[in-house]
Amino acid sequence: MKKVLNVGGHSKNIPLPRCYAGWEHLLLDIDPKGNPDILCDARELAQQPAASFDSVYCSHNLEHYYKHDVLKVLAGFAHVLKPDGFVYLVVPDIAGVMRQVAEKGLDISDVLYQSPAGPITVHDVIYGYSVEIERSGNPFFAHKTGFSERSLIATFQAAKYNWVYSGCGNFEIVAYAFINQPGAENARLLGLPAPQGG
């Protein structure tokens, strides 16, 4: 059975994308309240067994690290991935937010969109969901860096991910990143172009 490491996912009750149906799901988190399988700071992933996961899933977590720690986190992802594995990453689209602010003349405290958790302001996307930060009392929920699609791709490339596929929508960037060229099975799974010669 294939294995996915859900980094910073908070709880196993939050569903994973459909591509992981039937996979073994292990949760890694720094917060013990979510009862993670692995209690660990993602900056310390190099201490985990190497090449043990087929994928790393990380949704709305990478922006919680300072810019100088992001490459360390991505290197940790590469460490735990099998050679044909991939990272499935979701982060806020700061460039998309900036465009919306400029086009609509929004202020930092204005509501950008409505979410199941409630209204999300420009401030929430840039600095972290203020309601959750206040409720939890945990400053780790604050955002410490941000990405445009172009800067995210460049960051993956700096971390030696040679194949990166990305797209934007709903103020999010979704990226699939591979160290090695994706094989036919993963290309089909993620809807990527068929590999050359495959």
Give the tens place of pLDDT for each residue, 147-169.
999 999 999 999 999 999 999 99
Residue-range definition of the domain harbouring residue 25:
3-92+144-190
Contacts 24+ apart (CB under 8 A), 6-15: 6/57, 6/58, 7/42, 7/45, 7/56, 7/57, 7/58, 7/61, 7/77, 8/42, 8/58, 8/59, 8/60, 8/61, 8/64, 9/34, 9/57, 9/59, 9/61, 10/34, 11/35
Asked if residue 195 is part of any domain, the answer here is: no
Percent with pLDDT over 90 in the chain: 88
Asked if residue 131 is part of any domain, the answer here is: no
Instruction: List 115's β-bridge partners, or say none.
Output: 118
Quote the pTM value. Answer: 0.95
Question: Considering only CA atoms, which of 138, 144, 120, 122 is closest in space to residue 62?
Answer: 144
pLDDT for position 197: 57
- Across the range 65-94, mean pLDDT stands at 98
pLDDT band of 192, cuts 50, 70, 90: very high
Dihedral over alpha carbons 52, 57, 28, 74 (to 10 degrees) = 80
Backbone angles phi, psi at 145, to 5 degrees: -155, 175
Number of domains the chain contains? 1
Query: 180: domain CATH number?
Result: 3.40.50.150
Asked if residue 133 is part of any domain, the answer here is: no
- Across the range 30-40, mean pLDDT stands at 93
Chain mean pLDDT for the chain: 95
- Across the range 79-83, mean pLDDT stands at 98
Question: Considering only CA atoms, which of 198, 85, 96, 81 is closest in space to residue 152?
Answer: 96
Most distant CA pair in the chain: distance in Å? 53
Asked if residue 100 is part of any domain, the answer here is: no
Asked if residue 22 is part of any domain, the answer here is: yes
pLDDT exceeds cutoff 60 at 198: no
Q: In this predicted model, what pLDDT tens digit does every residue of 90-149 receive, in sequence order?
A: 999 999 999 999 999 999 999 999 998 899 999 999 999 999 899 888 888 899 999 999
Asked if residue 38 is part of any domain, the answer here is: yes
Asked if residue 167 is part of any domain, the answer here is: yes
Question: Considering only CA atoms, which of 176, 68, 173, 74 is closest in space to residue 125?
Answer: 173
pLDDT for position 139: 83
